[in-house]
Amino acid sequence: MIKKKAAATKKQSRSSSQHHTHGQGRCVDLLRQLSAYIDDELPSDICREIRRHLGTCPNCEVFIASLQHTVRLCRHRPAPELTPVDRMNMRRAILDAANAR
């Protein structure tokens, strides 16, 4: 009986996430404010609104958790030393990519 109940709960949560509607582009709005949110630079009312959305949108919740983890890893790693040739090649690659658009 317990296994059936757990399976039903799992199925229900999976189906509710599949039917999650992102209404009025809320996920896109969240992505636009993501950097400021992660850096804790937003007013508390907007942070509450974002956290409320995260509670109803598993996709955004996973995305933000992954990004926060990546930011933490990057902040604790020293920047690599680049030679002048490395810098020149990087600038060239960036300019080539920008010009290709």
Q: What is the pTM of this model?
A: 0.50
Boundaries of every domain in the chain:
23-100
Which positions ≥6 away from 84 have C-beta within 8 Å? none
Distance (Å, rounded) from C-alpha 36 to C-alpha 78?
A: 23
Q: What is the pLDDT of residues 14-62, one digit of tens each?
A: 434 444 455 557 788 888 888 898 888 999 999 999 999 988 998 898 9
